[in-house]
Amino acid sequence: MHQMPGKPGRDAIAEGEAPRKASSDEAGCPRHDSTPTGSGLLQAALTRDNLQLAFKQVRANKGAAGVDG
């Protein structure tokens, strides 16, 4: 039986994770902005007038779920 020249099978050089592509369709990590994004919206939703209006709506429909569930 004759041996074949060269290495048979796969090269054992590349082990571990697959190499990353230069571009990807996955979202990147969030940027660290110093401006708060959600706190202003939360403060607007939690104003006294808005909470009183929401409570009146809950009492008017007797606690039943609205049209959106």
Residues 27-52: tens digit of each pLDDT: 777 777 666 667 888 898 999 999 99
| Cβ burial 53-64 (10 Å sphere, 16+ → b, else e) | eeeeeeeeeeee
The Cα angle at residue 60 between residues 59 and 61, in degrees rounded to 5: 95
pLDDT tens string 14-27: 667 777 666 667 77
Quote the CA–CA distance of 51 and 48 in Å, as a whole number.
5
Total-model pTM: 0.41
